[in-house]
Amino acid sequence: MRASDIVCMDEAFRLAKKSFDEGGLPIGSVLAEGTRILGRGHNRRVQQGDPILHGEMDCLRDAGRRASYRETTLYTTLSPCMMCAGTIVQFKIPRVIVGENRNFGGNEQFLRDHGVEVILLDDTRCRELMRNYIEANPSVWNEDIAEDAPRGGAGGQ
């Protein structure tokens, strides 16, 4: 990892914490070109009522239109879902740094299969913040990952 990677992941974590403090899912993201941050975002599905406003999508929206993403790195505190991974591939973002994937095993192999360099940090801060959110808000988390909430009783019925 480069020194700029640490700075950008720290910013992504700060954004995840901001979302957590707002009552939203604690996922932050930064798009950078070298040391220059182009966009910042955090998951605002809950806050805005927008089902596609994941951290990565918010970040890319903040970065605005670009002719090319070929020299960029996307930082995200949680492994990207398929929607976000597809967008990364579509925009040809060559490098993604992931804070953690224990709470959600996203689509890292999909990214690799499409030529994206994926670096997993297994960052304790990211992992614990997400775990705390999931434990406190299981139904919101299940909604976010499109899982049916358990119905209770034996066998989830």
* Positions marked catalytic: 56
Residues facing 77 on adjacent strands: none
Q: Are the C-beta atoms of 60 and 86 separated by less than 8 Å?
A: no
Q: Which secondary-structure segment (H or E) carries 117?
A: strand 117-120
User: Whose structure tokens read 């990364």?
Assistant: 88
| Rounded distance between C-alpha atoms, residue 64 and residue 91, angstroms | 12
Ramachandran class of 29: left when φ > 0, alpha when ψ lies in -120 to 50, beta otherwise:
beta
